[in-house]
Amino acid sequence: MKIRFFLLDIDYITEKKGLKIRLWGKTADGKNVVVFVQSNPYFFVFPKDIKKAQKDIEEILKGKNISVKGIEKIEKKLNGELKEFLKITCFLPQHTQKIRDFIKVLEKNRGGTGSIIEEYEYSINFYRRFLMDKRIDGNCWLEIEGEKLNTNYKVDLALNAKKIKVLEDISIPELKILAFDIETSEIAGEKQIVMASFYGKAFKKVITDQKSDYPDWVEVVKDEKELLQKIVKTFNEYLPDIIVTYYGDSFDFQVLMDRCQSNKVKLIVSRDKTETKFTRRARISSARLNGIVHLDIFNFISNILSPSLQTEVLSLDAVSSELLGDKKIEVDYQEMLEAWRKGKNLSKLAEYCLKDAELTYRLAEILLPQNFEITKTVGQILFDVSRMTYGQLVEWYLSRKASEKNEIIPNQPKYEQVLKRRKITYIGGFVKEPLPGIHEKIAILDFRSLYPSLIVSFNISPETLNCDCCEENGHKVAGLNYWFCQRKEGFIPSVIKELIEKRSQIKKKLKETEKTSLEYKVLYNRQYALKIIANATYGYFGFAGSKWYSKECAESCSALGRYWIKKTIEEAENKGFEVIYADTDSLFLKTKDGDIKQATEAFLDYINEKFPGMLELDLQGYYETGIFIPRGAAPGTAKKRYALIDKKGELLIRGLETVRRDWCNLAKEVQRKVLEFVLRDKDIEMAKQYVKEVVENIKQKQILLKDLIIYEELTKPIETYKQIGPHVMAAKKLRERGMEVGEGMLIMFIITKGQGSISQRAEPVEFVSLKEIDSDYYIYHQILPAALRVLQVLGVSEKDLVS
DNA sequence: ATGAATCGGGG
DNA sequence: GTGTACGATTCAT
């Protein structure tokens, strides 16, 4: 039979019958399907002497208890040049790595016969390799010809594939999305789940074992075990295609798993009825539910979205406020613990819990389309792509293109090499320090496409660097002794060029498309996906763990970038602009006299005419008022920092917010108000006055103790700390008073007056009264830094705020 | 001063 | 069934 479906997930299983890839997806008429495909993993050997290499390998394998499916001779490009390789096809995914380890001793530098020079692509994950080979993108439509199978899976249809065809179709079928959130409480130092919420299309549900009067969408069960069973049941009855969480990889699913183990409940959510497992990744483990995509949107927000967000605090509250214009229900942590303990206000907590799931769901509604398009562009699956950093997106995009162009994918550097690379530095982007103060009528020009353009125009790629053929007339980089090949297009420029060209085609099409249509949305997200990958490639050259690392390429990009931005600044100044600020790829202009819009438009026409190749300067926008903060002004100098306000009174703030939960509430409040005074009311005096009042209030103790609490987590057992920070000291004091203190506990403390370091004066909030607080700490370490972050630029100093 | 250690995000 | 964050803050030397 023949079916068509939208690919959601892929994995593989090893059964007695052999190794099978599983493709999971959904048909246009809402059926969930799984398709089994026969495939084998393999890797490549680059030989010195191909015949001897094959004999040597066969000899080694005879001595080990491991066999291969086959060894064949094939041709692949290594650094752009066609060479002969041995392709070793294996029976099991883990065999590629294992067999490689056995045969690497043949390399000369390891004291072997020298018949092998190097091995390649032995650590590429099996299903990722499958996607690359078959040219299948995650979230594409597939047409499968095959025979029906019987499984015990929770699917409508299972097939054994004979033929797979990738279809051209941009549509997305209706998917069942379910957001999930839990609330926990600490009882005798142990975390317990006390509430869970679910939010989907026309579906809302809260389950709890805490008795109280609730609205009808709350279900009360008798204990935690029943709560856990009910959670599992809800997942299985709703049977979503995608489960969305906010920080679920590191919290909700971790705790759920943990509690299920303690209560002997099986956490079976997957479609193949296997228990939830965590797949290890770099920093975090991810909860994987076979056949259901677990999307933890915090990953995407933190890895990809955060640079373009105004907020630097990536809490659900801050992110929802910015993206949805909606907030969490306000309950602070202390209040929540109190509520669980006393069984008070539980109805509000149920609302709170549901609201979290609702916000998570609505964020997913916005971010899923973007994720689908990035997934399609990179050519991997949603589960993985939604968790990738910029570097990983670039790496997997390049890997896919390498596979398409029959190029060998370079190996990942060894750890020692990464360390060595990290020590190498080169000069970064050019920064023209901002002129201090408030500026009016500003134009922002954007060079964002600067690096991709330069890579293409100058043919910057590891294998085109210092080629033999162009020593005389290659692309020269001013100030560096490098050149890039004029004759042969490099691998990276060729794939970047594809990205840029595809993107400009889409942008052209966007102009002819109805803005409210689905097609517009899809195309818009697609061009965004292409843009972020193209823009990240320069950084990837210089990233120490990169497979296509080249210090020379990265250095060339930044040198050329500096050259062009300086030239642009010069041109702008010649045309009568005042350049208030410039950083790497953006310029902030003001006219000395005349209309900013007219002058800017004329300048853009003029300069883009002059620029070579694909280089282009774009208008980012006009702003009424703005302040810019010099990189050196405050500690932490790497980020661009400014605040702007446009004609409609909309604020645009970058890099100014710093206050996280390890700052007290009062500091957060102060920073927010100061920004409002400065930008909205343009009244520095009022801002100063306000800060002075707060300072005075602290001195007079006219504040609430709860606004001074600092929250910090004990991330490991208390004995293992080498450095005793304030929260560790506070935790020790809790323990001395007979409280159980464990890993993962959120410590709430106050800095008190007295002798010694900050840590020594950190006291658990339970044992502090307002009169003991260290006013100086709160004034000089919390309130003033938060306020001065903004006010410093306006010439306000610490002295102006404390009399 | 400078470097090492630690944290966030979720509850 | 691979593995890269990073900027701010405080302690320790």
Looking at residue A191, its pLDDT comes to: 85
A383 vs A758: CA distance, rounded Å? 43
Classify residue A35 as left (phi > 0), alpha (psi -120 to 50) or beta.
Answer: beta
A583 vs A430: CA distance, rounded Å? 6
Q: A336 beta carbon < 7 A from strand B? A: yes
CB-count exposure of residue A738 (10 Å: 0-12, 13-18, 19+)? exposed
CA of A326 vs C1' of B4, distance in Å? 40
Identify residue A5 by its one-letter amino acid code.
F
Q: A540 beta carbon < 7 A from strand B? A: no
A333 vs A330: CA distance, rounded Å? 10
CA of A726 vs C1' of C13, distance in Å? 19
| Bridge partners of residue A116, in order along the sequence | A47, A107
Q: A657 beta carbon < 7 A from strand B? A: no
Q: What number is the average pLDDT over the span A350-379?
A: 95
A298 vs A303: CA distance, rounded Å? 8
CA atoms within 13 A on the CB side of A658: 17
Find the nucleotide nearest A284 (Cα to C1′).
C3
pLDDT for A472 beyond 80: yes
| Bridge partners of residue A134, in order along the sequence | none
Of A223, A214, A172, the C-alpha closest to A193 is A223
* Beta-carbon contacts of residue A498 (< 8 Å; ≥ 6 apart): A401
Residue A781, token pair as written in the block = 């370490």
Looking at residue A636, its pLDDT comes to: 37
Q: A727 beta carbon < 7 A from strand B? A: yes
Find the nucleotide nearest A381 (Cα to C1′).
C1
Report the 3 state secondary structure along A629-672.
CCCCCCCCCCCCCEEEECCCCCEEEECCCCCCCCCCHHHHHHHH
* Beta-carbon contacts of residue A540 (< 8 Å; ≥ 6 apart): A390, A391, A394, A395, A398, A546, A548
Find the nucleotide nearest A756 (Cα to C1′).
C11
A116 vs A58: CA distance, rounded Å? 13
H-assigned helices in A543-579: 551-574
Confidence of residue A428 (pLDDT cuts 50, 70, 90): confident
User: What is the pLDDT of chain A when averaged over all its residues?
Assistant: 90
CA of A658 vs C1' of C8, distance in Å? 9
CA of A692 vs C1' of B4, distance in Å? 36
Confidence of residue A334 (pLDDT cuts 50, 70, 90): confident
B11: residue with closest CA to C1': A184
Find the nucleotide nearest A288 (Cα to C1′).
C1
Q: What number is the average pLDDT over the span A88-98?
A: 94
Using one digit for the tens of pLDDT, what is the confidence trace for A236-265? 999 999 999 999 998 999 999 999 999 999
Looking at residue A637, its pLDDT comes to: 41
Share of chain A above pLDDT 90, in %: 61
Q: What number is the average pLDDT over the span A381-389?
A: 93
A344 vs A340: CA distance, rounded Å? 7
Looking at residue A638, its pLDDT comes to: 47
Q: What's the CATH architecture for A706-772?
A: 3-Layer(aba) Sandwich (3.40)
Q: What are the φ and ψ backbone dihedral angles of A491, each rounded to 5 degrees?
A: -65, -50
More confident residue, A441 or A615: A441
Q: Which nucleotides of B are covered by protein (CB under 7 A)?
A: 4-11
Q: A324 beta carbon < 7 A from strand B? A: no
pLDDT for A634 beyond 60: no
Q: A257 beta carbon < 7 A from strand B? A: no
A309 vs A304: CA distance, rounded Å? 10
Confidence of residue A361 (pLDDT cuts 50, 70, 90): very high
CA of A801 vs C1' of C1, distance in Å? 57
Q: A247 beta carbon < 7 A from strand B? A: yes
A140 vs A163: CA distance, rounded Å? 16
Q: A662 beta carbon < 7 A from strand B? A: yes
CB atoms near residue A425 (< 10 Å): 9
| Nucleic strand B contact set for A 352-371 (CB, < 7 Å) | 356
A230 vs A208: CA distance, rounded Å? 10
CA of A588 vs C1' of B1, distance in Å? 36
**Which H helix or E strand runs over A399?**
helix A390-404
More confident residue, A257 or A642: A257
pLDDT for A633 beyond 50: no
Q: What number is the average pLDDT over the span A669-679?
A: 84
Q: A189 beta carbon < 7 A from strand B? A: no
A750 close to A710: Cβ distance less than 8 angstroms: yes
C1: residue with closest CA to C1': A125
Q: A314 beta carbon < 7 A from strand B? A: yes
* Beta-carbon contacts of residue A308 (< 8 Å; ≥ 6 apart): none
Range in A257-271, A299-313, A314-328 with the lowest mean pLDDT: A299-313
CA of A758 vs C1' of B11, distance in Å? 26
B8: residue with closest CA to C1': A660
Query: Averaging pLDDT over each range in A482-491, A575-584, A619-628, A675-684, which range is the top one?
Result: A482-491
In chain A, where the domains are located: 1-174, 177-378, 412-628, 642-701+778-800, 706-772
CA of A251 vs C1' of B9, distance in Å? 9
More confident residue, A308 or A73: A73
CA A543 to chain centre: 16
Looking at residue A282, its pLDDT comes to: 64
Looking at residue A613, its pLDDT comes to: 72
Query: Averaging pLDDT over each range in A15-24, A139-148, A386-395, A781-790, which range is the top one?
Result: A139-148
Of A437, A442, A789, the C-alpha closest to A625 is A442
More confident residue, A123 or A744: A123
Residue A553, token pair as written in the block = 């390429």
Q: What number is the average pLDDT over the span A109-113?
A: 86
Confidence of residue A134 (pLDDT cuts 50, 70, 90): very high
Find the nucleotide nearest A383 (Cα to C1′).
C1
Q: A711 beta carbon < 7 A from strand B? A: yes
Fold held by A412-628: Palm domain of DNA polymerase (3.90.1600)
CB-count exposure of residue A473 (10 Å: 0-12, 13-18, 19+)? exposed
Report the 3 state secondary structure along A577-615.
EEEEEEECCEEEEEECCCCHHHHHHHHHHHHHHHCCCCC
Instruction: Return the SS3 of A392.
Output: helix
A346 close to A210: Cβ distance less than 8 angstroms: yes
Q: What number is the average pLDDT over the span A294-300?
A: 94
Q: What number is the average pLDDT over the span A678-685?
A: 82
Q: Which nucleotides of C are covered by protein (CB under 7 A)?
A: 1-12
Find the nucleotide nearest A195 (Cα to C1′).
B11
Measure CA of the first residue to CA of the last residue in chain A; give whole Å: 83
Of A587, A765, A787, the C-alpha closest to A684 is A787
CA of A85 vs C1' of B1, distance in Å? 56
Q: A722 beta carbon < 7 A from strand B? A: yes
Q: What single string gives the DSSP state of each residue in A273-304?
A: -PPPEEEE-SS-EEEEBTTBEEEEHHHHIIII
Using one digit for the tens of pLDDT, what is the confidence trace for A303-314? 898 877 877 788
A675 vs A787: CA distance, rounded Å? 9
Using one digit for the tens of pLDDT, what is the confidence trace for A544-569? 888 999 989 988 998 888 888 899 99
pLDDT for A18 beyond 90: no
C12: residue with closest CA to C1': A723
Q: A723 beta carbon < 7 A from strand B? A: yes
Looking at residue A110, its pLDDT comes to: 85
CA of A648 vs C1' of B2, distance in Å? 47
Query: What's the CATH class of domain A1-174?
Result: alpha beta
A291 close to A176: Cβ distance less than 8 angstroms: no
CATH of domain A642-701+778-800: 1.10.132.60
Q: A296 beta carbon < 7 A from strand B? A: no
Instruction: Return the SS3 of A751.
Output: strand
pLDDT for A430 beyond 90: no
Looking at residue A116, its pLDDT comes to: 94
pLDDT for A166 beyond 90: yes
Confidence of residue A684 (pLDDT cuts 50, 70, 90): confident
CA of A426 vs C1' of C1, distance in Å? 36
Find the nucleotide nearest A10 (Cα to C1′).
C1
Looking at residue A126, its pLDDT comes to: 94
Find the nucleotide nearest A92 (Cα to C1′).
C1
CA of A446 vs C1' of B8, distance in Å? 31
A207 vs A214: CA distance, rounded Å? 11
A314 vs A794: CA distance, rounded Å? 27
Q: A83 beta carbon < 7 A from strand B? A: no
CA of A722 vs C1' of C13, distance in Å? 13
Instruction: Return the SS3 of A26.
Output: strand
A315 vs A359: CA distance, rounded Å? 12
Q: What are the φ and ψ backbone dihedral angles of A243, each rounded to 5 degrees?
A: -105, 125
Of A368, A338, A235, the C-alpha closest to A290 is A235
Residue A159, token pair as written in the block = 């097939």
Looking at residue A635, its pLDDT comes to: 39
Find the nucleotide nearest A302 (Cα to C1′).
B9
CA of A584 vs C1' of B7, distance in Å? 29
pLDDT for A574 beyond 70: yes
A77 close to A84: Cβ distance less than 8 angstroms: no
**Radius of gyration from C-alpha coordinates of chain A:** 29
Query: What's the CATH class of domain A177-378?
Result: alpha beta
